[in-house]
Amino acid sequence: MASEIEKVKVLIIGSGPAGYTAAIYASRAGLSPVLYTGGQPGGQLTITTDVENYPGYPNGIMGPEMMEDFRKQAERFGTQIRYGVVTKVDFSAQPHKVIVDDQVEIHADTVIISTGASAKWLGLESEERLNGRGVSACAVCDGFFFRGQDVAIVGAGDTACEEASYLANICSKVYMLVRREEMRASQIMQKRVMNNPKIEILWNTETEEILGENEVEAVRVYNNKTKESNEIKVSGFFVAIGHEPNTGIFKNIIDMDENGYIKTIPGSTRTNVEGVFACGDAQDHIYRQAVTAAGTGCMAALDAERYLAAKELV
C-alpha cells in the first residue's frame, strides 16, 4: 500500500521525447509537472546510437545525449523528474490516483501517458550485443547509415514490406527473411516487394545468428524446409516483427485498439477518461519517430493546460 500521498496538477508517466516535451510545455505554463521516468529513462532513444533525422542537430547526435538534453531542458523550467515505475492507476474519479513503486500515491488533476512502445525482438544474444551496431528495429531511423550496402530484414507483415521497400531505395540489396511460405502483409504490399529487383525474399527462413564482433558482418539463416543453414554477408540487420505498446497497466481503463495502442479523440490527445491524455508511441503505431512523438507531447501539454483552465483548476 502507498505510504504517502502527494497532490499535483500534471503527472507525466514516461520520459521519451513525448514525455519530456510535454514536461517542457507544462512547466513553462506554470503547471509544475511531475514526471516519472519509468523503467527505461529516455525511452527507446537511449538504445539508439546516431540520430540524424531530428531537426536542430545538423551534425547528428547520439540518442542518449539527445534525451539528456531534453531532460535538462524540462528541469530548467521546473519539472520535477523522478525515477520510478507506475504500478497501479485508478482513474474512476477526480483527482486521478496513481501509485508509484507500490508505495507513493499521487493524486493528479491531469495525467499525461507517454509510456512509449518497445520493439519486439527475436531473442538472440547476438541481436542484443550488436543492437545499435548494425542491428536496428527502425529502417526509417537507421537505413541511411547502410546506403549502398547489403542488408537483411526479418518480418512478413505490412511494416516489414514497407521497411524493405524503403531500404531498397538506398541499399544495394535487401534480403527479406520470411519464416513461412507466405506473408501476413496485404496483397498490394506483397506485390511491391516481390516486384522490386533489389529485394530477394527468402521463404521458410529463420535467423540462427547475427555474425560479427563489433558490427554486423553476416547473418546465418536456417531453411526450415530443406533443413540447411547458410551465411549471407550483410552489414545491416533490421527486425520488423512488430512493436508492443507499454500500456498494460491501463488495460480495461483506457480505450485501446486490438494491439494495445491507446485510442485518442481525433485531432487531440484526449482519451476516453476525462483529464487523461496520451502521446508518443503509446498511441502511435504508424509513424513512431522522435519528432512526431515530441509533437504529440506538445499537444498533450496544451490539452492538459486547456482542460485545467476550463475546470478552473489553475
Segment 70-95, tens digit of pLDDT: 999 999 999 999 999 999 999 999 99
C-alpha separations of 242 from 50, 99, 207 in Å = 22, 30, 16
Report the pLDDT value the prediction gives residue 43, as an integer from 0 to 100.
75
Lowest mean pLDDT among 34-43, 172-181, 227-236: 34-43
Asked if residues 136 and 239 have their Cβ atoms less than 8 Å apart, the reply is: yes
Q: Which of 57, 62, 60 is nearest to 45 (CA)?
A: 62
**Residue of higher predicted confidence among 63 and 25:** 25
**Residue of higher predicted confidence among 300 and 48:** 300
The pLDDT-based confidence of 40 (bands split at 50, 70, 90) is confident
Positions marked catalytic: 138, 141-142
Average pLDDT score over residue span 31-50 = 81
Query: Per CATH, is 121-239 categorized as 3.40.50.10540?
Result: no
CATH 3.50.50.60 in the chain, residue ranges? 4-118+243-310, 121-239
Claim: this prediction has a pTM higher than 0.95: no
Evaluate if residue 1 carries a pLDDT over 60.
Answer: no
Report the pLDDT value the prediction gives residue 47, as an integer from 0 to 100.
67
Report the pLDDT value the prediction gives residue 39, as an integer from 0 to 100.
75
Average pLDDT score over residue span 199-205 = 97
Report the pLDDT value the prediction gives residue 52, as an integer from 0 to 100.
84
For domain 4-118+243-310, give the CATH superfamily. FAD/NAD(P)-binding domain (3.50.50.60)
Exposure string of 210-230, with b = 16+ CB inside 10 Å and e = fewer, is bbbeeebebbebeeeeeeeee
Report the pLDDT value the prediction gives residue 62, as an integer from 0 to 100.
87
Tell me phi and psi for residue 4, to 5 degrees: -145, 150
